Amino acid sequence: MTRPDTDSALSSESIEPLNIQTVGTSLPRVDGHAKVTGTATYAWEHDLRNPTYVYPLQSAIARGRVLRMDATQAESVDGVIAVLTPYNAARLADTGNAELAVLQSDEIAFRGQLIGAVVAETPETARHAASLVGVEYEQQPHDTELRADRPDLYRPDQVNPVFPTDSEEGDVEAALAAAAVTLDQTYSTPMEHNNPMEPHTCVSVWDNAGTGADGGPRLTQYDSTQGAHAVRKNIARLFELAPERVRVISPHVGGGFGSKGMPHAHNVLSALAARAVAGRPAKLALTRQQLFDLAGHRTPTVQRVRLGADADGRLTALCHEAVEHTSKVKEFAEQTAVASRLMYAAPNRRTTHRLALLDVPVNTWMRAPGECPGMFAAEVAMDELADACGLDPIELRAINEPESDPSTGKPWSHRRLVECLRTGARRFGWDRRAEAGTRREGDWLVGLGVASATYPSWAMPGSAAEIERTADGRYAVRIGAADLGTGTWTALSQIASDALECPFDAVHLEIGDTDLPPASVAGGSSGINSWGSTIVAAARAFRAEHGDNPAAGARTSSKTPENPDMKRYAVHSFGAQFAEVRVNADTGEVRVPRMLGVFAAGRIINPRTARSQFIGGMTMGISMALFEESVLDHGTGHVVNHDFAQYHVAANADVGDIEATWLDEPDPHANPMGAKGIGEIGIVGAPAAVVNAVHNATGIRVRDLPVTPDKLLRA
Amino acid sequence: MIVLDGSHSGVPHRRSPACRSCREPARGRLPAKVWLLQPGWYPSEVDSHLTLRVDGEEWSLTVDTRTTLLDALRDRLSITSPKKGCDHGQCGSCTVLIDGRRRLSCLTFAVAHDEAEITTAEGLATGESELHPVQQAFLDHDGFQCGYCTPGQICSAVGMLAEAEAGHPSVVTPTGNGSGESGRPAVLDDDEIRERMSGNLCRCGAYVNIVTAIRAVARR
């Protein structure tokens, strides 16, 4: 089944497209059998002899110093092997990344920071002994509260990953003053936690510490990570090892959503603990509660959006100013307003990011950092502007469609946002949308909402892939990539099959191990773009070198190729999110019986797993819209609702019918597959669609997530 | 894992007549270590001997009484199909079937299940290729992504289908139409499936496909 690219006008001069056979078909997951039987091996579950168990000790204050730690009682418990403290832990070679400088000083920078660990023969013993360690602190006043009116907000040098902090085009203030219609509103999103189902786990084993025959120690980490090679690079530097002396193994990962994108403090603690039990594995899995302190979170945001439009709804000014927090331990400046630089045409535009430097745990990536919270504010603002202009929200967006990327002037490789919106409107029954607050069925107020979605098509450099003809006549395809539920095992096998022009079953993919060629982190929806391009390059090089009937053992490696089109075009995905909500008139309870997402994300490698990723993102979007909020108690600096009973993530009964579909067309400028990455766009715009539907149902505009019943009953 | 000498001294093993501790009655044995109980002082460790039948295999083991069933399975017997997602009974990843009923293995102590018949998702499959119909449906409908909550979801679904068949109503079961009343099987529409499966969280957001998978099995 070869499907030729129909749109030859949109072909690339520099990218040779992949000849599609297996790609585009709905193959079941190759790791599916292992996952439905529970036999896929996650980080804790590798068969290791004679393990020890690590239980972390955490700071009970948010700022100050540890004065004394008394481990006498803990050490006297039968089965305790070691108690690590800042006073006895090994010195690390590099403390430049303070998040990873574990037990290197007595200073406390946030509540829940690691201050030690108990290593014991059993998990029960470790946990009990941890409760017996006495800690004396010198407490200093802490500051954990994000407010937009703080006088000490600062301007970071850039925002994640490499965007300018601010942007300014034209004269925003003059355009706002002259606009026929204006909007000036402030939106907020709370602190949120990734909460993958598999808690962050790291099992470390030192081999022949300092006494190996080849002259040095080796460290193996069985880790739950989105990037084995990134963990290796960081850990090797800390322990002053050559990278090849550290091996990170991570074949299956129980979700990550950004929080497993880089190693965190527990990776270092696990390695330190393993040093104390030379040769024996040190097993460390954070508890669900500890995740809230030690595994990253999404910053809270306060976003002021100002829009100016002429009488027809054409934007004349767009100003998006974001205020966020960052930890004193390590700066993370989320790119909240960056999507507003390219979504709509507006001659006068300003975007800014300001940070409050607080005594909080380290925040980091959480599914679509930047785009997700930023597009919540921007897309609710567009809904409000449509109301103010008396326009249908889809028409307002169509009127403001930019011909080229407003932030760079580059042509779009593909955009098709308006097509997504119109296709979705047809399928969802948008014409049944009534005036706000007018549709009632029994006790339920019913409304429809829409929002746009976008996500950049990232491609990371620096991966390599190796292809080898094996003795059984198959092809081993090796790359240190990660599958955190994303379908990598299946999708990369499909790409390799097409690139080698061999049957799908003839591909034997190997991922999740630093013994394999290096791979970039599974982040920014860049995995398939980056690793897939690398595999295609390796397959082509392999065929050029060894022909169609290679001998067993024939082998070729290639690195990620350059893609000159990424410099010439603005390569992004777009989408339209539709939600139907029902709001109980008496209780304020919000239900979401229906959602539809229509996406233009280039070629879809595997429709079955892709649909799962889209609806998974949309489900997390419902969760963000209605439930998720980490409550930081400023008195203690502690996230008080640090478990699943109190930090609500959407459960099965919270989710109705969600459908996702796409405009199936390859983007010839993205890569040989024509694919653009789909892991994150599903959550972008989803919370705004729900909030806009709540407004349509009730006439109440909620600007502060999550939409809890009190916000509807108070209004 | 299998130890063939007569001592076994604390090493978990498949039950064997050659083993002294296996021959002795499991209950009522004196703990290996008993701490002197004083006010404000409690024992840190008390061992207990028990037998667990897991996925058709009989295991004899001595556990610290503080060991949850989940940790006994994962850390003592290396049966890692049940997962630890929260250790507080809030996520459902550790769900197993105990004597045919779905239970949270993190929320119950191993010692409370001496002689119990435990089935994990691994044990639901009857062979390398023969999946349980619920497992096959999860595979066919892509009812998972990262797979970490999946064994729990599947055990929960199997237990839930039996509950419905036995006429257990849920909070959304309508009254007056016979469904789930007087022991008659409850009719599983999508709302029923969603309600009855809401003890199993999935952060990847596979609920839509999980409902589709279970619906396909329920309608057979």
The shortest CB-CB distance from B122 to any of A31, A39, A124 is to A39
Residue A112: its pLDDT value, please?
Answer: 98
The Cα A708–Cα A706 span in angstroms is 6
Residue A698's SS3 state is helix
**Contact yes or no for A288 and B131 at CB 8 A:** no
- Give the DSSP letter of residue A654: G
- Choose among A44, A122, A252: nearest Cβ to B64: A122
Contact A604, B192 (CB under 8 A): no
Cβ pair A375, A454 in contact under 8 A: yes
Whether B45 and chain A come into contact, CB under 8 Å, resolves to yes
B27 & B72 share domain:
yes
Residues composing chain A: 715
pLDDT in tens, A647-684: 999 999 999 999 999 998 999 999 999 999 999 999 99
**Alpha carbon of residue A427 to chain centroid:** 29
The reply to whether B4 falls in a domain is no
Do residues A604 and A610 lie in contact, with contact meaning Cβ atoms separated by under 8 Å? yes
**Known catalytic residue: A680?**
yes
Burial label, B15 (beta-carbon count in 10 A; 0-12, 13-18, 19+): middle
Q: Report the alpha-carbon distance of residue A377 to residue A382 in Å, rounded.
A: 9
A6 band by pLDDT with thresholds 50, 70 and 90? very low
* Interchain CB contacts (distance < 8 Å): A and B: 197
Across chain B, which distance is largest between two alpha carbons, in Å?
Answer: 62
- A713 close to A647: Cβ distance less than 8 angstroms: no
Token reading at A501: 């022009």
Q: Are B185 and B110 found together in one domain?
A: no
Q: What confidence score (pLDDT) does residue B14 get?
A: 75
Among A30, A37, A611, A655, which would you mutate to test the B interface (most chain B Cβ atoms within 10 Å of its Cβ)?
A37
A155 residue type, one letter: R
Contact assignment for A123 to B71 by CB distance below 8 Å: yes
Domain contains B19: yes
Q: Are A315 and A307 in contact (CB under 8 A)?
A: yes
Judged by CB atoms closer than 8 Å, whether chains meet at A652 and B74 is answered as no
B162 and B209 inside one domain: yes
Residue B1 inside a domain? The answer is: no
Which pLDDT score is estimated for B27?
42
CATH architecture of A8-40+460-562: 2-Layer Sandwich (3.30)
Tally of domains in chain B: 2
**C-alpha separations of A548 from A18, A543, A638 in Å:** 17, 6, 61
- A655–B205 CB contact, under 8 Å: yes
Please calculate the CA angle A36-A42-A47 and round it to the nearest 5 degrees.
Answer: 110
Residue A213 pLDDT level (bands cut at 50, 70, 90): low
Q: Are residues B211 and B178 in the same domain?
A: yes
- Quick check: B85 contacting A, CB < 8 Å? yes
Measured between alpha carbons, how far is residue A229 from residues A30, A457, A566 in Å?
A: 23, 22, 25
Least confident residue range of A6-15, A289-298, B176-185 = A6-15
Helix (H) / strand (E) containing A620: helix A607-626
Facing residue for A288 by CB, picked from B66, B88, B122: B88
Q: Which CATH number is B209's domain given?
A: 1.10.150.120
Cα–Cα distance between A639 and A642 in angstroms, integer? 6
Regarding whether B157 and B92 lie in a shared domain, the answer is no
* Range scoring the smallest mean pLDDT among A6-15, A72-81, A275-284, B48-57: A6-15
In terms of CA atoms, which chain B residue is nearest residue A608?
A: B142
Are residue B107 and residue B191 in the same domain, yes or no?
Answer: no
pTM more than 0.80: yes
What band does A2 get if pLDDT is binned at 50, 70 and 90? very low
Rounded to whole angstroms, the Cα distance separating A589 from A444 reads 9
**Can you tell me the distance from the alpha carbon of B54 to that of B52, in angstroms, rounded to the nearest whole number?**
6
Q: Report domain extents, chain A.
A: 8-40+460-562
Per-residue pLDDT tens digits for A235-278: 999 999 999 999 999 999 999 999 999 999 999 999 999 999 98
Alpha helices in A346-392 (DSSP H): 371-389
Does residue A15 carry a pLDDT above 60? Answer: yes
AA letter at B157: A
pLDDT of residue A576: 98
Closest partner residue to A36 (CB to CB) among B150, B191, B207 is B150
| Separation between Cα atoms, residue A271 and residue A101, nearest integer Å | 12
Residue B48's domain comprises: 13-37+44-119
Determine the Cα–Cα distance for residues A680 and A256; give it in Å rounded to an integer.
Answer: 12
Interface of A with B in 71-90 (CB under 8 A): 77-79
Residue type, B216: A
Q: How far is B48 from chain A (nearest CA, A)?
A: 14
Which chain B residues are Cβ-neighbours of A616 within 8 angstroms?
145, 204-206
Report the 10 Å Cβ neighbour count for A186. 15
Name the DSSP class of B113. Answer: G
CB within 8 Å: A38 and B195: no
B142 lies in a domain? yes
Low-confidence residues in chain B, pLDDT < 70: 1-11, 16-45, 128
> pLDDT for A551-569, tens place per residue?
999 999 999 999 999 999 9
CA atoms within 13 A on the CB side of A501: 11
Nearest CB among B88, B135, B142 relative to A643 is that of B88
- Listing DSSP states for A137-163 in one string gives EEE--------TT-TT-B--SEETTTE
Q: Are residues B209 and B115 part of one domain?
A: no
Contact residues on chain A for B41, CB-CB shorter than 8 A: none
- CATH number of the domain residue B22 falls in: 3.10.20.30
Final residue before a domain boundary, out of B63, B86, B119: B119
Element (H, E) at A178: helix A172-178
- Are the C-beta atoms of B3 and B13 separated by less than 8 Å? yes
C-alpha distance from B17 to closest chain A C-alpha (Å): 26
Q: Using a CB–CB cutoff of 8 Å, tell me whether B82 touches chain A.
A: yes
In Å, what is the CA distance from A12 to each residue of A49, A74, A415?
Answer: 54, 66, 16
| pLDDT score of A3 | 40
Distance CA A96, CA A74 (A): 32
Give the Cα separation of A690 and A654 in Å (integer).
13
Final residue before a domain boundary, out of B95, B119, B143: B119
Does residue B104 sit at the A interface (CB-CB below 8 Å)?
A: no
